Amino acid sequence: LAKTTQPISMDSYEGQEVNITCSHNNIATNDYITWYQQFPSQGPRFIIQGYKTKVTNEVASLFIPADRKSSTLSLPRVSLSDTAVYYCLVLSYNTDKLIFGTGTRLQVFP
């Protein structure tokens, strides 16, 4: 069962790079790692997904070491609008339930 662990909260300032790490020690061979962003009273919004090494899109990068037991979401030059809760999810086909971690509440200050 691929349970994830993330820091509860993080603070940053506008223009800084933010790195949020997620631990997933029980990740299975075929599992992918997905990150979501959620604003209050809205559904989680897909940010990025990866399997190994590094994935980059227009909003973020995802770094996954060789053992895949953790992953790091990197948000370059955050702005106030990036203040949200960020969830790491490992979707495992063979589990009997899908589990989100507690999420990381990112607060960006001016």
Footprint of other proteins on this chain (CB under 8 A)? Answer: 30-32, 34, 36, 41-46, 49, 51, 87, 91-103
Query: Which residue, 78 or 88, has its beta carbon nearer to other proteins?
Result: 88
Instruction: Provide the minimum distance between the beta carbon of 92 and other proteins in the complex, in angstroms, as a whole number.
Output: 5
Instruction: Provide the minimum distance between the beta carbon of 29 and other proteins in the complex, in angstroms, as a whole number.
Output: 12
d(CA 80, CA 14): 6
d(CA 83, CA 86): 9
Query: Which residue, 70 or 92, has its beta carbon nearer to other proteins?
Result: 92
Within 8 A by CB and 6+ apart from 110, the residues are: 13, 14, 80
